[in-house]
Amino acid sequence: MDSIREGAAGGDVVVGGAPIGVYDSGVGGLSVLPAIRELLPADDLIYIADAGHLPYGEKSPFYVVERAWRISDYFLSRGVKAIAIPCNTATAAAAAVLRDKHTDLPIIGIEPAVKPAARLTRSGVIGVLATTGTLLSAKFQQLVRREAPGKQVLLKACPGWVDLVEQGASPEDARRIVFEPIDDLLAQGADVLVLGCTHFPFLVDLVRERVGPDFPVLETGLPFALELRRQLLAREPGAAAAAGMSSALSSAVSPGLSLAAASSVRAAVTPLRQASGAAGRIEMWTSGDPTVVQSRVDRLMPGLAPVRRLPEPYC
């Protein structure tokens, strides 16, 4: 049964009912699940790690769109009420296409935090770390022109970071992979870093080791979850006021939101596992090898959910 509940503080809203489809090229999108679960604890989530086609960032936009069609078809077969795409590359390539195809379904994408970075920078130099696919996309270039006019935006493709999250590495290799692009951006005067891939919050400890605890490092998991909730509430009868409140909250999220909170993304797994008050279930599916993906999930968020193989037509 669908439900809406507004708490005493006016912000404790729970929406239930049909599940929400969430997908990423791999396990990186798991970094946004704590925020989604915090804001929508009653909702069932169906998460697809499209690991059979990883990494999206090195694929053509046409390839990424084709995968979006397959995955959205699976979600529709499960009766989802929204599709959330916590993947910058997939958002840039496919979100608009999916919205055109599924006009009656909320499609929530994600984009790098260029706008808050432009407000935070004092040197006028912003460093963006992302995948090649994101940085080369027309959508990202438009974002930079729109939100950071007059700023120098340095772009650094980091495909090795995705591999590091997915596969792991020795401490020495991990430091080298993470430190090299950061050092290059800092040497060019960047005083704000934007993590433009949802895999990257899982590397926050290494990022902080290099830049220190007070350096602005931005990611967009919370604003993404707020927008998902806003769109769901807007479709619920009688929920207009709550949706407006959610929109106001999203606009009010501090531009200085750093990874201090995201650094505990692993610790946030407990509320994800149907802990106190969280009635929603989490399903994990993959187009890749479930055993391999399970090992990655267990390394990042131990005990989250068993990983199953998608039915063949969707792989």
Q: What's the rounded mean pLDDT across residues 74-88?
A: 97
Sign of CA dihedral 134, 37, 12, 263: negative
Q: Binding residue per annotation — 24? A: yes
Other C-beta atoms closer than 10 Å to the C-beta of 266 total 16
- Mean pLDDT value of segment 144-166: 95
What is the pLDDT, as a whole number, of residue 264? 41
Kindly list the domain boundaries of the chain, sorted by start residue: 4-111+221-254+264-314, 114-218
Active site residues: 87, 197
pLDDT of residue 242: 43
Query: Tokens at residue 206, please?
Result: 């290494």
What whole-number distance in Å separates Cα of residue 8 and Cα of residue 39? Answer: 15
Cα within 13 Å of Cα(139), Cβ side: 19
pLDDT, position 237: 58
Residue 298 has pLDDT above 50, yes or no: yes
Contact 165, 27 (CB under 8 A): yes
What is the CATH number that goes with domain 114-218? 3.40.50.1860
Is 199 annotated as ligand-binding? yes
286 annotated ligand-binding residue: no
Query: pLDDT tier at 16 (50, 70, 90 boundaries)?
Result: low
Q: What is the pLDDT of residues 118-152, one digit of tens each?
A: 999 999 999 999 999 899 999 999 999 999 999 99
Residue 35 has pLDDT above 70, yes or no: yes
Identify the pLDDT of residue 250. 43
* 131 labelled ligand-binding: no
Q: Is 56 marked within a binding site?
A: yes
Return the pLDDT at 17.
83
Asked, colleague to colleague, whether 4-111+221-254+264-314 and 114-218 share their fold, the answer is: yes
pLDDT at 236: 73
Instruction: Please give the model's pTM, rounded to 2 decimal places.
Output: 0.83
pLDDT for 278 equals 52
What does pLDDT average to over the chain? 85
- Look-up of token digits 């939100």: 147
CATH assignment of 4-111+221-254+264-314?
3.40.50.1860
Phi-psi category of 11—alpha, beta or left, where left has phi over 0 and alpha has psi -120 to 50? alpha
